[in-house]
């Protein structure tokens, strides 16, 4: 009878211990899984952010090169067709910038007029990568080439810009950079050990690589990376790198150029620390589980012995015998209370850890939101502005035809001259002053942003019958106030009403961009409204029914 009772108590006590431990075990398992998922998401975010930062650094480097060429293209020598003076200016630019290899001038017939590596007048010079030269003549915009063997030896790339007179491209100025310069740019990003970054052109040819550049630059990227480039793959995807290693990869387009940046991390190394941490957690949990079982058995035996002592004492009392068993059950109950207190303390530590994880998540979310703003002007960057404008579009659709939207594309006139003559610090002040003017004119129902070096955008919301007047009035004030900044700076503004046929902001933004370029052609310091009722040189530009709101130019001395 007594043996059966002791066995029963042990079983029930062990069952009680298992039942009490099971929720904690499940909760610990949930924490391990959640920790793994959050760590994986954090790693993927870091991978994407570093790729975007690298793409922006490449875009900035190409923009600097294009800036050198644009300054030469706008010089008096280029506009007067003084080849000797233009050659001398190009020589000075190359000599003052060690990263530049050479500058050349190509005619519309494909002839190499000069290259700074050779004396002026050298004949029978060959043009490297001629396809990108024709793209400059066809588009009238800066173009970056793929890799080619430079006259001075070694692989390089070229950035070409048009030399225009009266709206016609008469030459192509090209600046050659060694691929070693791009390799150094990737190395300067200081990626974690084992991460590999690369720059590829639109044809999937490697232009630079942070690892084993000499072996792979100038060759085709892997098939998986080329497929992602063709399919415009977004987010993180699996691919095989040149070394045959499976990597987690993200591909980001270089803003404003036909290049892309790829960043790959070996999947094994990416999850090595996470796997190790989870293994330690699981191993520690198993050890603690075994220890818990052993302690439960010992405790069950101890309680069983104490119950036996009480039963024997009760039996002895029935027989009239005296057995001192005082305090034995109370001590065990007291131990149980202490164990429950320990469990409570463990739960409190777990809850504290969860709160810390939640706070960290909020900090990361806040940092990501701040990263989407332009660090100089604090205005929304391109991606954030597009989201804000899309939100205004949705709100406008919800109100039906009673409201309308207008996009203003603002480009500063004479800004590059300020950077070249007064320095980038003064140029930054001009950008911040312009952003302040734009911010002062922006209501809660509008959205403003900076989408390029000296390019700003403004999305206005107004009554459908007055949106055109409102846009023109804001544009006029912007032209006036930007002109008042001084230093010869001004702005050209293109206005596009967001029509129903434009289903997304890209369509309306493109129209505003085209109107801005028309304002540039009209003499700068202007705002132009895009439309379809009147034409200029075969391009539709609206002479609006609203007085003073078709093409409005201010008389001012801007540097062309």
3-state secondary structure of 273: helix
The CATH T-level fold of domain 191-270 is Beta-Lactamase (3.30.450)
pLDDT: is 30 or 264 the higher one?
264
Q: What is the mean pLDDT of residues 373-393?
A: 89
Structure-block tokens of residue 356: 């810390």
Between the ranges 129-143, 260-274, 311-325, 538-552, where is the mean pLDDT highest? 129-143
pLDDT of the residue at 395: 80
Give me the pLDDT at residue 307, please. Answer: 64
For 400, which DSSP code?
A: G
Cα gap 372→379, rounded to integer Å: 9
pLDDT digits (tens, 9 = 90+) for 57-93: 999 999 999 999 999 999 999 999 999 999 999 999 9
Q: Does 342 have pLDDT greater than 90?
A: no
Per CATH, the architecture of 74-180 is what? 2-Layer Sandwich (3.30)
| 58-62, 324-328, 390-394, 490-494: least confident range | 324-328
* C-alpha–C-alpha distance, residues 341 and 543, integer Å: 81
Residues near 201 by beta carbon (within 8 Å), at least 6 away in sequence: 144, 145, 146, 147, 207, 258, 259
Q: Which of residues 315 and 92 earns the better pLDDT score? A: 92
Q: How many other CB atoms are there within 10 angstroms of residue 369's CB atom?
A: 10
What average pLDDT does the segment 219-245 reach? 87
Q: Among the listed ranges 157-161, 197-201, 261-265, 283-287, which one has the minimum average pLDDT value?
A: 283-287
Contact 124, 117 (CB under 8 A): no
pLDDT at residue 282 is higher than 70: yes
pLDDT at 211: 86
In sequence order, the 6+-apart residues with CB closer than 8 A to the CB of 406 are: 459, 460, 462, 467, 468, 470, 471, 495, 496, 497, 498
pLDDT for the residue 500 = 66
pLDDT in tens, 102-154: 999 999 998 999 999 899 988 888 888 889 899 999 999 999 999 988 877 78
CA distance 480 to 258: 36
**For residues 162-189, average pLDDT:** 92
Task: State mean pLDDT over 309-319.
Answer: 66
Domain boundaries, the chain: 2-42+286-369, 74-180, 191-270, 382-553
Q: Which residues contact 117 (CB under 8 A, 6 or more apart)?
A: 101, 102, 151, 152
Task: State residue 2's pLDDT score.
Answer: 47
Report the DSSP beta bridge partners of residue 406: 460, 497
pLDDT greater than 60 at residue 550: no
Least confident of 7-16, 258-267, 408-417: 7-16
CA dihedral 449, 452, 455, 461 (to 10 degrees): -30
Q: Is the pLDDT of residue 535 over 80?
A: no
Question: Worst-scoring range by mean pLDDT, 54-58, 173-177, 320-324, 335-339?
Answer: 335-339
Mean pLDDT in residue range 527-552: 47
pLDDT at 344 over 60: no
pLDDT tops 60 at residue 559: no
Beta strands in 214-355 (DSSP E): 236-240, 246-253, 260-266
Length in residues, the chain: 560
Q: Residue 149, SS3?
A: strand
Shared fold status for 74-180 and 382-553: no
Give the chain's mean pLDDT: 80
Give CA–CA dist 399/282, Å, rounded. 56
Per the DSSP assignment, residues forming a β-bridge with 261 are 199, 252
Tokens for 475, please give them: 């544009």
What integer pLDDT is reported at residue 432 of this predicted model? 92
State which H helix or E strand residue 514 sits in.
helix 505-521
Q: What is the pLDDT of residue 346?
A: 63
User: Which tokens belong to 60?
Assistant: 């900035």
| Portion of the chain with pLDDT greater than 70, in percent | 76
Q: What are phi and psi of 445, to 5 degrees?
A: -85, 5
Q: Is the pTM of this model over 0.85?
A: no
Cα Rg of the chain (Å, integer): 35
Q: Which of 30-39, 204-213, 415-424, 434-443 has the lowest mean pLDDT?
A: 30-39
Q: What is the mean pLDDT of residues 516-535?
A: 78
Question: What confidence score (pLDDT) does residue 403 get?
Answer: 79
pLDDT confidence tier of residue 503, bands split at 50, 70 and 90: confident
Architecture of domain 382-553: 2-Layer Sandwich (3.30)
Query: Which residues are within 8 A (CB) of 16 and not within 5 positions of it... i.e. 6 or more apart?
Result: none
What six digits make up the tokens of 293?
């079982």
* Over residues 169-197, mean pLDDT: 90
pLDDT at residue 343, rounded to an integer: 44
pLDDT value of position 323 = 52
How confident is the model at residue 338, as a pLDDT? 54
Query: What would the two tokens of residue 555 be?
Result: 């008389």
Question: For a pLDDT cut of 90, what percent of the chain falls above it?
Answer: 35
Span of 46-50, 256-260, 528-532 with lowest mean pLDDT: 528-532
């Amino acid at each position: 009878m007594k043996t059966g009772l002791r066995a029963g108590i042990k079983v029930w006590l062990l069952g009680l211990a298992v039942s009490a431990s099971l929720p904690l075990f499940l909760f610990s398992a949930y924490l391990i899984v959640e920790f793994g998922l959050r760590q994986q998401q954090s790693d993927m975010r870091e991978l994407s952010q570093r790729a975007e930062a690298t793409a922006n650094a490449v875009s900035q480097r190409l923009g600097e090169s294009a800036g050198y060429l644009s300054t030469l293209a706008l010089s008096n020598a280029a506009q007067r067709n003084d080849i000797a003076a233009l050659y001398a200016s190009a020589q000075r630019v190359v000599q003052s910038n060690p990263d530049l290899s050479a500058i050349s001038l190509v005619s519309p017939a494909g002839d190499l007029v000069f290259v700074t590596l050779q004396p002026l007048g050298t004949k029978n010079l060959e043009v490297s990568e001629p396809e990108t030269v024709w793209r400059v003549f066809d588009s009238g915009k800066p173009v970056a080439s793929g890799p080619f063997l430079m006259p001075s030896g070694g692989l390089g790339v070229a950035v070409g810009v048009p030399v225009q007179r009266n709206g016609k491209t008469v030459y192509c100025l090209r600046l050659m950079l060694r691929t070693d310069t791009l390799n150094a740019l990737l190395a300067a990003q200081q990626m974690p050990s084992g991460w590999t970054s690369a720059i590829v052109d639109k044809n999937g040819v490697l232009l630079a690589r942070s690892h084993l550049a000499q072996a792979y630059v100038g060759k085709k990227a892997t098939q998986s990376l080329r497929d992602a480039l063709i399919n415009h793959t977004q987010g993180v995807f699996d691919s095989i790198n040149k070394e045959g290693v499976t990597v987690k990869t993200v591909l980001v387009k270089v803003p404003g150029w036909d290049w892309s940046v790829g960043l790959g991390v070996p999947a094994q190394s990416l999850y090595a620390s996470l796997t190790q941490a989870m293994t330690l957690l699981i191993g520690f949990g198993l050890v603690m589980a075994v220890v818990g079982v052993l302690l439960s058995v010992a405790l069950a035996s101890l309680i069983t012995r104490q119950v036996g002592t009480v039963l024997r004492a009760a039996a002895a009392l029935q027989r009239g015998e005296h057995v001192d068993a005082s305090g034995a059950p109370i001590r065990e109950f007291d131990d149980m209370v202490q164990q429950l207190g320990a469990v409570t303390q463990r739960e409190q530590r777990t809850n504290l850890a969860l709160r810390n994880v939640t706070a960290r998540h909020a900090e990361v979310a806040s940092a990501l939101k701040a990263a989407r703003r332009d660090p100089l002007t604090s205005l929304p960057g391109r991606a954030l502005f597009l989201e804000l404008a899309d939100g205004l579009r949705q709100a406008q659709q919800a109100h039906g035809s009673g409201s309308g939207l207008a996009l203003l594309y603002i480009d500063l006139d004479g800004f590059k001259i300020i950077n070249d003559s007064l320095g980038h610090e003064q140029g930054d002040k001009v950008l911040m002053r312009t952003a302040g003017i734009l911010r002062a004119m922006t209501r809660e129902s509008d959205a403003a942003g900076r989408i390029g070096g000296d390019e700003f955008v403004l999305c206005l919301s107004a009554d459908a019958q007055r949106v055109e007047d409102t846009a023109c009035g804001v544009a006029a004030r912007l032209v006036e106030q930007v002109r008042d900044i001084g230093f010869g700076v001004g702005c050209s503004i293109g206005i596009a009403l967001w029509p129903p046929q434009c289903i997304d902001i890209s369509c309306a933004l493109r129209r505003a961009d085209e109107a801005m370029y028309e304002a540039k052609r009209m003499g700068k310091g202007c705002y132009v409204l895009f439309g379809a009722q009147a034409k200029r040189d075969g391009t539709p530009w609206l002479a609006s029914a609203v007085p003073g709101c078709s093409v409005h130019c201010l008389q001012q001395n801007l540097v062309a």
